[in-house]
Amino acid sequence: MGAWPVLSVLFALLGLAPARKVRGVRDLMVHGERAPGLCDSVTWEDGNASAWCSFLTLDGRRRRFEVKGYGPSRFEAGDEVEVAYWKNAPRTAVVVQDERNFARVHRVAAIACFGLAGVFGLTAALVAVR
C-alpha cells in the first residue's frame, strides 16, 4: 500500500475536528447559557488581533477568555458583547457576534481537509489501476 491511501485517510480524519467544532458551536448557540460580556482589551501578535472578553457565569464567577482573530480585531476594548457558554464548562465561551466567523473558519478548514482526502483517494485509485 502506497502513501496515497494513508494521506487520504489522514486528511479525512483531520477534517473531522473542525467539522465537530462547527457542530459544537451551533449546539452551544441553541442550548447554551447566555450572559452579557465586555471586551476588556485587544492584543496583537504577528499582525493578528485577539480580543480578551469577560462575563459573569450564573453562579457569579467572572470568566475571561480570548477571542482569537486573524487580521484586524472585530472587537475593541469596551465593546459590549453577548457570550454563550456551557453551564458546566464556562471555558467553552464564545462571543455570539463572532459565531458566524468562527463557523466559517472551521467550515473552510473541514472542506479543505475533506477535499484533499478526496484528491489523495482518487490518486490512490488511479495508481492502483495502473
Question: How large is the average pLDDT for residues 59-85?
Answer: 88
| Helices H / strands E in the chain, number of each | 2, 5
In sequence order, the 6+-apart residues with CB closer than 8 A to the CB of 36 are 55, 80, 81, 82, 83
Q: Which position has the higher pLDDT, 67 or 35?
A: 35
The single residue listed with the C-alpha cell 459573569 is 56
The number of distinct structural domains making up the chain is 1
Higher pLDDT, 103 or 1: 103
With 0-12 CB in 10 A as exposed, 13-18 as middle and 19+ as buried, what is 75? Answer: buried
Dihedral of alpha carbons 29, 104, 81, 55, sign: positive
6 to 2, 64, 77, 124, 125: CA distances (angstroms): 7, 41, 46, 9, 12
Domain limits at 43? 3-129
In contact, 40 and 63? CB cutoff 8 Å? no
**87 φ/ψ angles, rounded to the nearest 5 degrees:** -55, -40
What does the pLDDT read at residue 1? 61
What pLDDT band is residue 100 in, cutting at 50, 70 and 90?
confident
pLDDT tens-digit profile of 25-54?
888 889 999 999 999 999 888 888 888 999
pTM reported for the whole predicted model: 0.71
* Amino acid 83: pLDDT: 94
Residue for cell digits 495502473?
130
Per-residue pLDDT, 86: 93
Q: Looking at the predicted structure, is the pLDDT value of residue 9 above 90? A: no
